[in-house]
Structure 1
Amino acid sequence: MKSVIMIGPSPAARGGMASVVQTYLAHGYEEGGRCRFIATHVDGGALRKAARAGAALLQFLGLLVLGRVALLHVHLASGVSFWRKAAFIAAARLFRRPVLLHLHGGEFIDFVEVRLSGRRQRLALALLGGAAAAFALTEVSAAWLRTRAGLGQVEVFPNPIASSAPLARRPGRSVLFLGRLEEKKGVFDLIRAFAAVHARAPDARLVLAGDGDADGARALAAELGVAHCLHLPGWVDAGARAVLMAEAALFVLPSHKEQMPMSILEAMMASVPVVATDVGAVPQMLDQGKCGFLVQVGNIPQLAASILRILDDNILADTISERGLVRVKSEYMVETVLRRLRHRYEELAA
């Protein structure tokens, strides 16, 4: 029997793309045998990553040779992720199997247009353009795939979120960030904004949960006089994230670039008010500001003011969180997204 083969990072890996895969797998993606997932990436050292990628490619080639592939669904991001998946895409095309691209990562367009040039750029565009169809997370990415890669069948496709019983809300005064601690995620913008917040709300504290430049975060917080309010738990698993969400007054994602961040969906599902930059699909996720506050990238005073509005107004915080929960349940639930995905599979594999 032929199957749809989905490839992407291990569901146990870190990052939003792995969270998407984990959500699909946990909700029956492989039931019935018509869909299979092959992990092409794991966390760990270079040797472990290379071994996983090589084993995945050999497994996929074996399925192609045996005629058991109906369609290849590729979760794709920039950099090494793209080139890792390129061999799978090329193999599928060699065996005349349709390819569905699923574009993640806020920097993919810059990756192709800026970081690649000459032969490598032409190769990347050829690989993209040879796909049967593509999913994008934003209208900007969808338009780029149509115009630059020449793809005719492109649609904006939502990330899924699972319906769960979140921990009972016991919000304190913590401002929560979940993600990698680095400049492009806006972490240092958030620390600067929090210094202004702390001047008005001295009982507030800042929780930055993730790996990355923890030393840089500590140094900046110390320079601004808020080191005593900063908590850096490191990367946290799903259980610890749920606890942090339950205790948070609000969730903040001040990224410079994003597509459709899973952390915002998690916060909305947990009824946590959201403040985020107006990048990627975030304005659509927050219904143009009806379900959370949107701020401009790098606008520290605006970010601080939005955080303070939620900290200072419990009624406003409850209203925003209630709207967010309604929106995420109506647009992003995994059952709805899976039905839509299976329907698209049937069309492409016919």
Structure 2
Amino acid sequence: MTPTGSHGQGGIDRLYFYLRQVVAARGMEGVEISYFAARGDAAGWRWLPAFPLRLMAFLWTLATVRPDIVHLNHSTHGSAYRKAVLAWLARLAGRRVIIHFHGMVTPEDQAASPPWYRALGRMARGADRIVVLGRHFAPFFSRTLGARPDRIVVIPNGIPDFAPGPPAERPHQEPPLILFAGEVGPRKGADLMIAALQRLDALHGDWRCVMAGNGELAPYRAQATAAGLDAKLSFTGWVDSEAVHRLMREAAIVALPSRVEGLPLTLLEGGCAGAALVASDVGAIPDIVIEGVTGAVVPLDPDAIAAALADLLQDPERLLQAQRASRRMFEEHYEIGRFADRLRELYLEVAGRPAVTR
């Protein structure tokens, strides 16, 4: 179960679009997957009036498809509300439930304990398995939300290998390209990125940057203009996977100073393309961005981000070593086939166990 289906632009839908491709190409022995869009095309608050129709469709799916397992991919806020209801219905129907968390709960969320946070806790305590994207999230579910540790499993995201071969053989651009790929907004740290680029220009002038993604672009274009970056920074708006992958192959560095994050596909794509990675210390990002190896882990501070970018750009050998390490990291851990294999093992294990009844 994903938010909008195979045509969705978000990270969860993209992940399962890639999984569909793998399953279509090689199958998944012993497992048959049916897909369901939990929210559909209703964006923002519009999911509220549309959700009763999705509930009816889900009940029909339970009755006709009769799945052994209901696998709910979810985040926080409205996503947690929707999936908590769907998980309850699935358990009521005697189905095994896997919840797969792609978001991040901040300390402020924990202190405020909003209704969606409490719904997340109930859903976690009642699930047969909880999938998290990295080691960072397991203690939160066990110690904070009270889920059983033996029901928590780490499965990192994966993507197809769209750029095989060592980074040195790829046509990186001159001047070096810094790529920000993702929703252009505060959650991904777009404002921090632009502020960092303004400072970078004083430290190292030979670079250009592309910010590729959807979002409310006008205020960020204005910020870039005020910072004097119009000649070096461009915005593409939303682009499809093929265009993103082309930019990734051209990029020397992929940067993502997110404030809230799980394990972003953008950084996996950067690793696949053999780009050095500069990103914030949130969620499971430190699992792939290893300080001094694949790039730099930075605080949410424009000066620190600019310094990390300058350090890489001013030292070509260090940059190349980070690019090679990033590519190796992808090959060893994050190729989509590995994700599919881990998911298959989980499905077969959970299908062989009695469903949780609480």
Superposed pair shares fold, TM > 0.5:
yes
| Contact preservation (8 Å) 1:105, 1:258 | yes
Show the counterpart of 1:139: 135
Residue type matched to 2:38 in 1? Answer: T
SS at match of 1:233: strand
Show CA shifts across 1:258-283 (max 9, x none).
11111000000011111111221111
| Contact preservation (8 Å) 1:99, 1:133 | yes
SS at match of 2:187: helix
Show the counterpart of 2:182: 179
| Contact preservation (8 Å) 1:42, 1:48 | no
* CA distance in structure 2 between the aligned counterparts of 1:17 and 1:112, rounded to whole angstroms: 24
Pairwise CA distance, 1:7: 4.2
Change (3 A) 1:218 1:64: closer
| Contact preservation (8 Å) 1:92, 1:98 | yes
Show the counterpart of 2:35: 37
Residue type matched to 1:161 in 2? Answer: I
Which of these residues, 152, 155, 161, is aligned with residue 153 of structure 2?
155
Greater shift, 159-168 or 44-53, is seen at 44-53
Show CA shifts across 1:207-252 (max 9, x none).
1111223222122222222233220111111111122122222111
* CA distance in structure 2 between the aligned counterparts of 1:260 and 1:47, rounded to whole angstroms: 26
- TM score, norm. by length of structure 1: 0.88
User: Are 1:14 and 2:21 an aligned pair?
Assistant: no
SS at match of 1:81: helix
Residue type matched to 2:314 in 1? Answer: D
Greater shift, 321-330 or 247-256, is seen at 247-256
Pairwise CA distance, 1:89: 0.7
Change (3 A) 1:130 1:337: same
Show CA shifts across 1:27-79 (max 9, x none).
10775662211122344657986797555533432243357220111101112
1:317-332 equivalences under 5 Å are: 317-332=319-334
Show the counterpart of 2:73: 75
Change (3 A) 1:113 1:344: farther
Pairwise CA distance, 1:304: 0.9
Q: Which has the higher contact order (CA 8 A, sep 6+)?
A: 2
Greater shift, 275-284 or 147-156, is seen at 147-156
Which consecutive unaligned segments of at least 5 residues does structure 2 have? 353-358
Residue type matched to 2:317 in 1? Answer: I
After superposition, the CA RMSD in angstroms is 2.6
Greater shift, 142-151 or 324-333, is seen at 142-151
Change (3 A) 1:303 1:122: closer
Change (3 A) 1:320 1:127: same
Which of these residues, 21, 24, 29, is aligned with residue 26 of structure 1?
21
Show the counterpart of 1:3: none
SS at match of 1:69: coil
- TM score, norm. by length of structure 2: 0.86
Show the counterpart of 2:355: none
Show the counterpart of 1:303: 305
Q: Percent identity?
A: 27
Which of these residues, 286, 290, 296, is aligned with residue 287 of structure 1?
290
* CA distance in structure 2 between the aligned counterparts of 1:312 and 1:246, rounded to whole angstroms: 20
* CA distance in structure 1 between the aligned counterparts of 2:46 and 2:244, rounded to whole angstroms: 27
Show CA shifts across 1:291-336 (max 9, x none).
11111122x2221111112222222221111111111111112222
Pairwise CA distance, 1:122: 4.3
User: Are 1:348 and 2:346 an aligned pair?
Assistant: no
Which consecutive unaligned segments of at least 5 residues does structure 1 have? 1-5
Residue type matched to 1:311 in 2? Answer: L
State the number of aligned residues. 342
